[in-house]
Structure 1
Amino acid sequence: MVRAAGIASVVALLVAGTHARADDVPDAKLKQSVEGPQRTPAAAARDNFRHPYEVLHFFGLRDDQTVVEIWPGGSGYWTEILAPYLRDKGHYYAAVGETVGASEETLKSNAAFAAKLAATPGLYDRVTTTEFGADRHEIAPAATADLVVTFRNVHNWMAQHEDEAAFRTFFRALKPGGTLGVEEHRGRTDQPQDPEAKSGYVRQDWTIALAERVGFEFAGSSEVNANPKDTKDYSAGVWTLPPVFRLGAVDRAKYEAIGESDRFVLKFRKPVQ
């Protein structure tokens, strides 16, 4: 369900937005997309923890780019922003979970995402859906993407022992000089990294080293999603915190006061040569 304003007004707002910018110049069109009436209330309610405008602006997003999002999820939090923003001048690829051998959870997520796109063709008719499985699928034609983005997924690939393969897949899809944007729950530096990231937390330095092993160059970090109240020592891992609240009513007020996890936001470049 979208907010009250009609889809036509959303598209009109986005078409009126700006195009070229330097990294330090505000992007009015992106702000309009983040604040637009197409955003579902549940998604917009998390913006104070996820800071979508600041994160995408940091990644260098432009409306004429080819952008690939890895695992958009059933709700399509970032799709609601990226698809209309890129609709007229760019190209948005949504790389959903692979279907062969998929879990019931993945199949449900993919179905929910497909239903979301079909329900609002005025916004989502130009979205290209591909599949992501580390080193098993083409998320976009090789060397065509300007930007690949992934949000809080690295721990999943570590659990599957496919983290390096995943980053190789991103590297192939990007143009020389293209950007990889990564957000993840930030692990503690006073503890060794669990190679399977069972708690959901991943050290920032570990992720940088992973990307560099594949061939990426580290291009910067943002603290926009930092949360110093996150102690990262919960019995149920990061999922103890909102929005999951895995412990249910147990100490819920405590975890609500902490808020969502402490997260790093990293930017990498694929070398030009």
Structure 2
Amino acid sequence: MTINIKKSLLALAGALVLSGGAQAADLDSVVKGDHRSEETSARDQYRHPVETLKFIGIKPEMTVVEITPGGGWYTEILGPYLSEKGKLYAAHFPEDSESDYYQRSLKRFKEKLASDEKAYKRIVVTEFSPQTGREIAPAASADAVVTFRNVHNWMYRGYEDKAFASFFAALKPGGVLGVVEHRAKPGTSMEEMIKSGYVTQDYVIAVAKKAGFELEESSEVNANPKDTARHPKGVWTLPPSLRLGDEDKEKYLAIGESDRMTLRFRKPKP
């Protein structure tokens, strides 16, 4: 009975946050909010959103930039959490992209934001396009930049250095960069990293330092010791992609999502 009462109170708190009835969003309540579907929240056990965002240091009054939010998994949390006192720049795919996939993804994301104007009222959609040098947010305006499982995509296209440089430009001096990425075993070659989607922690740190960041701390909150990082279809073998379909499906479901590094960097103050 006590557990059910506790869940009801958390759901009520989440509803108040989303309706603008709370003065300051509570991260735990937002994550448990009714606006999140069962399919979405099922990933929490692998992605640990509360622990991850607390480790990075995200506060409800911050100006945050989320890089390539895709379908908005983390936006569902960041949007409501920042909706009263903060601001979220969602640096999505460019509107003038020739990619049909990019266009469809951006369209679905904007429809998502329009579906709940209160929860997403302080979100500004910008563009992430390192190759063109477009701003993801006004220079030196952001308290934090966050990116989840994206670095391998930039490596495939060869613009990871430009990506991290754009993060550095958007952050205020003293601002924080949070990076979550699929983790390759030390010594993995560049070719294998690009092919598998797993990246060595040392490489991510090196790219960030090249852009001017200082590594502040690493966390094992998203570690998965069951993941060998060596699969027939790379990281996409595991859920949620399950690229092999029904082949060995139960085996990969038992592993869960990938082993991931979680890193917090800082833009130095002058």
- Select the residue among 223, 233, 237 that pairs with 2:234: 237
| Structure 1 residue identity aligned to 2:196 | S
Partner of 2:16: 9
Partner of 2:264: 267
Number of residue pairs matched by the alignment: 259
CA drift of 1:13 comes to: 7.6
Give the distance between the partners of 1:62 and 1:68, measured in 2 at CA: 13
Partner of 2:93: 97
Partner of 1:24: none
Give the distance between the partners of 1:60 and 1:202, measured in 2 at CA: 24
- Select the residue among 111, 121, 136 that pairs with 2:107: 111
Structure 1 unaligned blocks of 5 or more? 19-28
- Select the residue among 81, 87, 96 that pairs with 2:83: 87
CA drift of 1:9 comes to: 3.2
Give the distance between the partners of 2:76 and 2:55, measured in 1 at CA: 18
- Select the residue among 48, 57, 65 that pairs with 2:54: 57
SS at match of 2:216: strand
CA drift of 1:189 comes to: 1.0
CA drift of 1:102 comes to: 3.6
Q: Please state if 1:164 is matched with 2:161.
A: yes
Q: Is the 8 A contact 1:14 1:33 kept in 2?
A: no
Partner of 1:33: 30
Structure 1 pair 195/235, CA: closer, same or farther in 2 (3 Å)?
closer
Structure 1 pair 83/14, CA: closer, same or farther in 2 (3 Å)?
farther
Partner of 1:202: 199
Give the distance between the partners of 1:104 and 1:53, measured in 2 at CA: 33
Partner of 1:21: none
After superposition, the C-alpha distances for 1:66-117 in whole angstroms (9 at most, x for unaligned) are 000001112x111111111111111111110113234211111101100001
Partner of 2:255: 258
CA drift of 1:190 comes to: 4.1
CA drift of 1:125 comes to: 2.4
Q: TM-score, normalised by structure 1?
A: 0.90
- Select the residue among 115, 126, 131 that pairs with 1:130: 126
Partner of 2:3: none
Q: Is the 8 A contact 1:14 1:32 kept in 2?
A: no
SS at match of 1:225: coil
